[in-house]
Structures are given as structure tokens and as C-alpha cells.
Amino acid sequence: MVVRTATRPTQRNITKAQPLQVDNVWERMKRMYISQYQRSDANPQKILEKLYLGSVGAAYTLATLKRLKITHILTLCDCLPPKFPGEFEYKVVNVIDDPKENLSAHFKECFEFIKEAIASGGTVLVHCFAGVSRSSTVVIGYLMTYSKMSMKDAMAFVKSKRPWIQPNYGFLQQLRKYEVQLKNNLNN
């Protein structure tokens, strides 16, 4: 009878191997989630005539992007490199979906990217990973700025197009502060 005993890896071996294993697991999970979004959420929602809101599923599905005549892609994620860099004009803003993230610090550059793309005759897809928090926050802020909507009206309008949006509470606070700034700028 042969008895095999499992040897326990030493702490030193675990420490050396762990970063590679974690990176590998993260990359596999990311690919799995991207594939899932490509199946379940490949079609972004039309917010305005030349403005769409979606997830990585839409941003990574070339047929959808071509069908909608997307020319510009605004990516709000720290882990999604441009999928088709030769096909579209990209702006990538490395932010995470965390209530402490200062997304409003990027509003101006995001809004200008959208505005300039549309002014040049382009069509824009704004996306994050799930198309729920970061990207919806930017689209709501854009509507507040250029369509002169209140935060409440902009949120309701975007929710009527993509019902599952839900900016995290930190982003909602930033939108409230931004609304106050817009009102103050009007009064000055």
C-alpha cells in the first residue's frame, strides 16, 4: 500500500507564486464577465440622437458598434483597454466604481469628449464595466450641463432609457454638488 502525503508549500513559495496566480485568476474572471456581458448586454441604450450608454458588452461587440455607427468610445474603467483602437476614437478615464472615487474631477474632460465628438458628426458610446454606475453618472452630468436638466430630471430621463442604472451613493453626492455649481454659475 502506497500512502501519499501532500506537502505543504512554504510561505516563501506561496509569496512568490501568489501575484502571478492572482493576476491569472483576475484575467480569467475578467474575460468571463466580459463574455457574459457580450451575451446579455451587447446593445447599449440610446440616450440622445448621438449618445449611447452601455456596458463592456456593447463596447467589445464590433457588430453592435458598427450597426449603431459609433465613432467615439468613452471608457470609464481602470481595467478595460480599448478593444478596437484602429476602428474608433477612444478616451479612457481610469476610475473605479467606489463611492470615494472623485469621478467629478473628470467631468469636464468627459463632457468635452462627448460634445466634440457629436459636434464633429460622430456618435458616442459611454460605458464602464456594467453600464450601471460610472458611465450613467457621466451621462447624467452631461445632460445636466448641456440639456440644462436638473439632476432629478436627468436621472429619471436616463433611467427611462436604461432602467437598471444606479450611480453609487458617492457619485450621487458628486452629482448633487455639481448641480449646485451649475446653479451658482447661472446666477453669476
Count how many domains the chain has. 1
17 in any annotated domain: no
pLDDT at residue 187, as a whole number = 80
25 in any annotated domain: no
Question: Can you tell me the distance from the alpha carbon of 9 to that of 180, in angstroms, rounded to the nearest whole number?
Answer: 57
Name the nearest CA neighbour of 136 among 165, 113, 115, 160: 165
Tens-binned pLDDT, residue by residue, of the chain (188 aa): 433 333 334 444 444 545 556 567 667 765 665 566 556 567 999 999 999 999 999 999 999 999 999 999 999 998 888 999 999 999 999 999 999 999 999 999 999 999 999 999 999 999 998 999 999 999 999 999 999 999 999 999 999 999 999 999 999 999 999 999 999 988 87
9 in any annotated domain: no
pLDDT at residue 4, as a whole number = 36
pLDDT at residue 29, as a whole number = 65
Contact 123, 74 (CB under 8 A): no
Q: Which of 77, 79, 110, 128 is catalytic?
A: 128
18 in any annotated domain: no
Contact 58, 64 (CB under 8 A): yes
Q: Where are the beta strands (DSSP E) in 20-71?
A: 45-48, 51-54
Question: Can you tell me the distance from the alpha carbon of 133 to that of 166, in angstroms, rounded to the nearest whole number?
Answer: 5
Catalytic residue status for 128? yes
pLDDT at residue 80, as a whole number = 82
86 in any annotated domain: yes
CA distances to 46, 54, 94, 149, 175 from 161, rounded to whole Å, are 7, 11, 25, 16, 19
127 in any annotated domain: yes
CA distances to 5, 9, 18, 148, 186 from 2, rounded to whole Å, are 10, 22, 31, 78, 83
28 in any annotated domain: no
pLDDT at residue 114, as a whole number = 99
Q: Give the CATH number, domain containing residue 175.
A: 3.90.190.10
1 in any annotated domain: no
Helix or strand run (H / E) with residue 181: helix 169-187
DSSP state of 158: H
Q: Which domain range does residue 115 map to?
A: 44-187
Q: Write down the pTM of the prediction.
A: 0.82
pLDDT at residue 40, as a whole number = 58
